[in-house]
Amino acid sequence: MSYKSLWQGRIDSEDGDAGRRWHQVVEFQDTPYKAAGGLCLVGYPNDSGVEANKGRIGAAQGPDALRQAMANLPWILAGKLFDIGNCTIHCELAETQQDYASRVSEALRANKVLGLGGGHDIAWASYQGLNKATDGIGNIGIINFDAHLDLRKPAPSASSGTPFRQIAEFSQRNNKPFHYACLGASLAANTPALLDYARTTGTRMLPDTQFSVEGAIECLTPMLENVEHLYVTVCMDAFPASVAPGVSAPSALGISPQDTVQIIQWLGNQCRARGLKWVLSDIAELSPGFDIQGATARLAGRIGFELANAMHG
């Protein structure tokens, strides 16, 4: 099935433009060069990184499930909506990430981008795309809603558990500051080795047991004072398995979706007030084969809706 055929939904023709939904405004472009002046969706239908991290495979179907979940959302943004399809999947994870990063960097020249994962190895690819699009100028703040720190050593190979360590090591090699915050990290899902590395790199962490809007504001405000660009990534395994069963690694406890939405909205307001450039977000680890009645996909779609609105303001 072509990804284009997934964009279907209700039509309220009696309401005119005020009744439009995402499926009615989306435009398809075969290349990022042709997309300009809006929100650009880029798919990353890959779960080889999840498999390498010994997770439940199935996130490769995540982008299409996200498209279906977002198709019926009301369109309330100024500008256009583009879907430029999926990146090319290669035998080597690094090549797939490079292809995605290239698409993101080109799309960012004239758009804001929402990435549709795929495993959380999308984060290393997203960061590379943003770093290239900004020509390496300005500090990038990374905010990750996740039960896992994803700071594993990329040995013997990179995986969905290594992206932020890859970013940390890249930053060190290039004398760049590493601004990373993980909101919702589970102490029951991260080893002492990962926690030690987090402390060593100055990672900001808000545990799932302390997750709240107020806690996030306290955690993130100092970082926002030291960055020019913002990249936000949401791993669907951050949420309770009872709410989001269709993920690569279900969470026993998880964080509140309502608080997550409020934090995303707060971030949008902060970026406008501080003049920060928030042009890139993505959603990872949606695994439709394990979903129950589409609950996880619907939540992921709502998260996509909030990210898009917060980035545009």
Binding residues for Mn(2+): 120, 146, 148, 150, 235, 237
Question: What is the SS3 assignment for 141?
Answer: strand
49 within 8 A of 119, measured Cβ to Cβ: yes
Determine the Cα–Cα distance for residues 278 and 16; give it in Å rounded to an integer. Answer: 31
Q: What is the DSSP letter of 98?
A: H
Sign of CA dihedral 243, 114, 39, 32: negative
DSSP 176-243: ---EEEEEEE-TTSS-HHHHHHHHHTT-EEEEGGG--HHHHHHHHHHHHTT-SEEEEEEEGGGSBTTT
> What residue numbers does the annotated binding site cover?
120, 146, 148, 150, 235, 237
Q: What is the DSSP letter of 103?
A: H
SS3 content of the chain, % helix, strand, coil (to 5): 45, 20, 35
111: enclosing H helix or E strand: strand 111-117
